[in-house]
Each structure stands twice: as C-alpha cells, then as structure tokens.
Amino acid sequence: MDAATKPALLIVDDQVNNLYATKKMLDHFDIEIYTALSGREALQAVLDTDFFLILMDVNMPDMDGIETVSLIRGNNNYRHIPIIFITAEDGNQQRLLSAYNEGGVDFITKPFHPKILSSKIELFLNLTLTQQKYVKLATSDVLTGLANRQMYAQFQETTISYSKRNKCIFAVLFLDLDHFKEINDTLGHDVGDLLLKEVSQRIKRGLRQSDFIARMGGDEFAIILTNIHDPKYAGGVAQQILKRVGDSFDINGVTVHCGASIGIACYPSCGDTSSELNKAADIAMYKAKEQRQNVQFFSNEMQAQMLHRLALIKGLKEAIGKDEFSVLYQKKVSSTTLEMVGVEALLRWNHATLGPIPPGEFIPLAEETGLIGKIGAWVLETVAQQIAQWQSESPVGHYPCVAVNVSPLQLNEPSFGEKLEKLLIDLSLPPGALELELTETAIMQDPDTAIRILSHIQKIGVRVSVDDFGTGYSSFSYLRKIPIDYLKIDLSFTQDIGTSEDADVIVRAIINLAHTLKFKVVAEGVESQAQVKFLTDEGCDYLQGYYFGRPSPADDFSHPSGPKVYSTTATAPPQAKGLSKQERRH
C-alpha cells in the first residue's frame, strides 16, 4: 500500500521508551505510525493527519490524556476518531470513568501483552478498511476508478469555498466523447468500456496534481482546474486534452478513433454556485458539439439560446395535446395544363407563448429529440382524415393527392408500412390518395434499408418522391434501384433559373436524368413566369411554389369553383415577393 494511502495511527506517551516499545509491537501492521510526547503534540498531529485510531496515555504532565481527548472531542471534525486509553495497572476507577465520559472507546493497562494490543489494533484497522472500501464505492466510478458525480459535487463545493476566500479563479470543463454510441454499437460494450478507461487515463496525464477529474456517467467527464490565473489557461488545457483523446486507440488489436467536445465555464464570471457553473459548462459543451468546434467557452448568448431550445423541446412535447399544430396545403400543378393535380401538406406550429415557430427550426429539433415519430404520425393521420373529408364532400369523388414529408426516423420505425396501410383501410382511402416525400440525403444514409421499406410502401399503392433532389450525393446505381415515382428539384436551383447558367444546366440535367430513369419531375419554389416557361420548355412535369399560391388551410380546397389555370405570361403574385428561401421552402 502506498504510504500516502496507508491508515495512520497515533501513539501518545510522555515516555520515549514506551513510545518505542509500543511502536515496535505494531511493526507487522501495514500502517503509518505517528508518535507524540505530550498532549500539545498530539493536538497538532490530529490537525495535520487523519488518524484511524489514537493510543492515549492517561497520566502525562501539563496536559494529561483525559484533557487532551476532551479538546479533540470538542472539534466536530475529529469527534469520529476512536481513542484507546493506556493506563497504569493501579489506575483508579474514577479516572477510568472520566476517560470513558470524555469519549474513550477502550483501555489497556500497563504492562500489556503484544497480542492484546495487536488484537485491538486489528479490530479498529479492519473497521477502517471496510469503511474506506464503502466510501470508495460510494464516491468512485467502478469502471474507470475516477471520482464519481457525488465526489465531484463535494470537491466542487470545497473549491468554491476556497476560491471565495482567496479570490481565485477556477474552471469547470465538461467533456463528452464524439460518436461513442456508434463505437459501442459496432464494436461492442467491452471495447467501449476499455476505451473509457484509456480515455480517462489520457485526460489525467494532462492535468496537474491539484486538478480534479470525475466520470459523470456514460461518456461524459467533468474536470476542475483549480486556482488558475487566466481563463485562457483552461482553453489551452482543453486543446491538449482533445489532442490526446483524438489520437487513435489500440483496443484489443482494434484501432479506434474517438474525438471529444468540451465546454468551459469559469468561476466567478460564469456563476458562483455549483448549479450555475455546471449548467454553463453543459451549455458550452452542447454548443461545441452542435457547431463541431470541439471547445467552447460559455457566454450569456449561449444561455439565451439554450433556454429557448429547452422551451421549444418542452413545447414540442405538449404541442399535440394543446392543439398547437396545424397543417397547411400548397398546390402542385401540371406544367402542360397548369391545373392543380395535387397538394403538399406542410406542418405549422403556433406556440402558445412564443408564437409561430419556423418549420426549419422545430422539425430538426423534433428529429434530434426523437419526438418526430409521434408528430409525424399525427400529421399522417390528420392528412388522411382531411382526404376522407374532401372525398365525402366531392360529388364526383375528385380530391387532390396529398404529399406528406416523412422523416427517416419515422420511416425506420417498426411496422411503418403496415401502420400506413391500416390507416388507409380504416378511412376507406385509395392508396393513390397519398404520396410520401423523403429527402435525398435521408434515403442515401442507408439506401438498402430505404429500398426495402419503400418497396413495401409502393406495393400498397402509395407514391414516393425524393425531395430536395440535387443537394445530396445520390449514387446513380442506387437511384435506379430505389422505388420512387417523383424527383423534386430543390428550390435553390429553381430560384436561380435565368440568373445562373450553372443552375440552368443542373435543372436541365436533373429533368433529363429523371425521365431517363422513368421518374416524373416536380420543381418546387416556382415564383416567376420566367421560371414557369423555362421548366415547361425543358419538360418538367409538375410545378409548385408561390407563383401558384401560398400554403393555405384545408378549407380553401374544400369547395373549388373549378380547376385553376395559371397563365404562362402572368407576373408573379404579390404574396410571393420579399420572402426568404426558408419561408418559401416551408
């Protein structure tokens, strides 16, 4: 056992010979033995060292053993130390009673046999070692041996108190490993555990002895850099840690690469309580991960953004129950007749206190938090019910085919196809009444899985379109195999028609490619007569955008006065002007 971690015992006796003889009897114990020749020396020793047991002589000049114990017991920090009194054989009973009253737990009379002393020492030593074992289990991380969350909290409070008294700066660093879940899923939890152990050692090697590291759980670590002179020092340490963690790991012969994101909050500028500092470091870490910048210092702007984000997440969880979601519909027209042939369903969210939230803000958040499945199911059911209503209101059964955007997370849900088929059957809807839209990037994340799921969806008669085509990295070999009906040209290309030669070339190429592969083509984001003419001349099959109308409530489509025809020579409607691309997209 290391000397610094050995249990410590104090022997107090005013006779040097007694001290030496007693110490000699205990040489076989793996402990650190301290000695004191007086009560005053004993008090100083107690202040300097944490003892598991004190052997105290009763009869000493100046300050006897009983008075010394009384002073020790008067301090709450040392009341827990067990004390055995050593007294002469003819010691009177009254003195012994006083010793017990002051807090003695046992006594030994002189002269004593070494075995009697050893047995008493062994009892208290075993109690101490058992207690230390349970304390370690309660305050240490079993896997890495680092401090755990509880020990971190204690150390942080001590550091705050010290820093307040001495007007010091210290930094809190929250570290989260990048892609650790993927490593666990692909290489197994055994490799993940070994990686965590190695990461913890690499982090420790970059810290001073006065610094502190804890594993907070999973792949998250917390670091406290004590008594620093400048926050820049914390940034430098963070960069060194990232370099160490960024180097490859050899785990059982497998090369593993692992990065990290670190958020930094400094005392007192980012807060003067544990709660404030931890929250600030966590916000900064999240920002570092979000922006892929590895290291981020906390700022007040981050806090405002995080509070807004938390409010949105909370709102998303409650939005369906509070009836805050709605669906608008935007027309899709034939390029040859300019008559409406269908609509696209677009989700809208009007937050009770924050007002309308842009889809470009809340939909990615719903996907990130896993709420998109529940929200997407609500949209599909709402749209299906609306189609059923249009069907019942139409005397000749004419109603628009509705395209619904589907998240890849939603598509990969178990039995998605079966649930979709049941929804159509329950509402007596023909499969052709519904069309699903997925982004090109989403399909190419796992094209083999997409082929399997979309094949089932096509078999039940639901059409499939690839949204935002041209912005991803589709493999033409996969594009031939994926069961889809439409390609939608991304609005970023449509917007530049006539103003960018590159855009004209790309749009022309997409139309030709789609037709070669037997797909129909839809151009979204159409806003001008020039765009309509170019797309029509190039053979684009369908057009969609503000030129033909903004997204509207379902009631606007309930009682059509007849098919709307749009002139190829008309100017863009007034409502299409002055809107951002993001607003046009949604």
Show the 3-state SS of 305-332.
HHHHHHHHHHHHHHHCCCCCEEEEEEEE
Q: Tell whether the model's pLDDT for residue 578 goes beyond 70.
A: no
Domain membership of residue 262 (yes or no) is yes
Domain membership of residue 372 (yes or no) is no
Indicate the DSSP class of residue 252.
T
Domain membership of residue 482 (yes or no) is yes
Q: How far apart are CA 221 and CA 203, in angstroms?
A: 9
Task: Report the range of poorest mean pLDDT among 37-51, 170-184, 467-481.
Answer: 467-481
Q: Are 172 and 277 in contact (CB under 8 A)?
A: yes
Same domain, 235 and 288: yes
Domain membership of residue 318 (yes or no) is no
Same domain, 163 and 93: no
Please spell the DSSP secondary structure of 81-134, one letter per residue.
S-EEEEEETT--HHHHHHHHHTT--EEEEES--HHHHHHHHHHHHHHHHHHHHH
Mean pLDDT across the chain: 86
Task: Report the range of poorest mean pLDDT among 316-320, 354-358, 515-519.
Answer: 515-519
Domain membership of residue 289 (yes or no) is yes
* Average pLDDT rounded to a whole number, residues 482-503: 88
Query: What is the domain count for the chain?
Result: 3
Same domain, 538 and 414: yes
* Average pLDDT rounded to a whole number, residues 38-58: 92
Place of tokens 């022309």: 508
Task: Report the range of poorest mean pLDDT among 53-62, 98-107, 119-128, 574-583.
Answer: 574-583
Highest average pLDDT, of 238-252, 290-304, 422-436, comes from 238-252
What is the pLDDT at residue 453? 87
Same domain, 419 and 519: yes
CATH number at residue 29: 3.40.50.2300
Same domain, 115 and 159: no
Same domain, 541 and 424: yes
Identify the domain boundary among 274, 298, 322.
Answer: 298
CATH number at residue 425: 3.20.20.450
Domain membership of residue 267 (yes or no) is yes
Residue 553: which pLDDT band, with cuts at 50, 70 and 90? very high
Distances in whole angstroms, Cα of residue 401 to Cα of each of 86, 114, 288, 434, 466: 97, 97, 43, 6, 16
Q: Tell whether the model's pLDDT for residue 344 goes beyond 90.
A: yes
Residue 413: which pLDDT band, with cuts at 50, 70 and 90? confident
* Average pLDDT rounded to a whole number, residues 172-198: 92
* Average pLDDT rounded to a whole number, residues 406-412: 86
Q: Are 442 and 484 in contact (CB under 8 A)?
A: no
* Average pLDDT rounded to a whole number, residues 322-342: 93
Domain membership of residue 305 (yes or no) is no
| Bridge partners, 176 (sequence order) | 220, 261
3-state secondary structure 500-543: CHHHHHHHHHHHHHHHHCCCEEEECCCCCHHHHHHHHHCCCCEE
Q: How far apart are CA 531 and CA 231, in angstroms?
A: 55
Same domain, 472 and 528: yes
Higher pLDDT, 4 or 314: 314
Phi and psi at residue 494, in whole multiples of 5°?
-60, -40
Alpha-carbon Rg for the chain, nearest whole angstrom, is: 37
Same domain, 221 and 272: yes
Q: Tell whether the model's pLDDT for residue 575 goes beyond 70.
A: no
Within 346-467, residue ranges assigned H as helices are 359-369, 372-393, 408-411, 416-426, 440-445, 447-459
For 59, residues 6+ apart whose C-beta sits below 8 A from its C-beta are 65, 87, 88, 91
Q: Pick the closest to residue 103 from 136, 68, 127 (CA basis).
A: 68
Residue 539: which pLDDT band, with cuts at 50, 70 and 90? very high
| Bridge partners, 172 (sequence order) | 224, 265
* Average pLDDT rounded to a whole number, residues 442-453: 80
Task: Report the range of poorest mean pLDDT among 93-102, 310-319, 342-351.
Answer: 93-102
Highest average pLDDT, of 232-241, 296-305, 405-414, comes from 232-241
- Tokens standing for 87? 């007294």
What is the pLDDT at residue 397? 60
Neighbour-count burial for 69-86, b at 16+ CB within 10 Å, e otherwise: bbbbbeeeebeebbbbbb
- The angle that helices 300-319 and 274-291 make with each other, rounded to 10 degrees, is 80
What is the pLDDT at residue 225? 96
Q: How far apart are CA 139 and CA 133, in angstroms?
A: 10
Identify the domain boundary among 81, 113, 139.
Answer: 139
Q: How far apart are CA 451 and CA 480, in angstroms?
A: 10
Q: Which H/E stretch holds residue 225?
A: strand 220-228
Indicate the DSSP class of residue 175.
E
Q: Tell whether the model's pLDDT for residue 180 goes beyond 70.
A: yes
Look up the domain containing 28 and give its range. 8-139
Could you report the per-residue pLDDT of 204-214, keeping only the tens digit for each? 988 988 899 99
Residue 110: which pLDDT band, with cuts at 50, 70 and 90? confident
Could you report the per-residue pLDDT of 128-150, keeping only the tens digit for each? 887 777 766 777 888 998 999 98
Highest average pLDDT, of 79-88, 111-120, 163-172, comes from 163-172
- Tokens standing for 302? 């981050």
Same domain, 117 and 166: no
Identify the domain boundary among 110, 139, 168.
Answer: 139
Domain membership of residue 53 (yes or no) is yes
**Interior angle at CA 475, CA 473 and CA 477, nearest 5:** 170
Same domain, 246 and 161: yes
CATH number at residue 292: 3.30.70.270
* Average pLDDT rounded to a whole number, residues 488-492: 87
Same domain, 518 and 395: yes
Task: Provide, rounded to the nearest whole percent, the portion of the chain with pLDDT above 90.
Answer: 50
Same domain, 527 and 418: yes
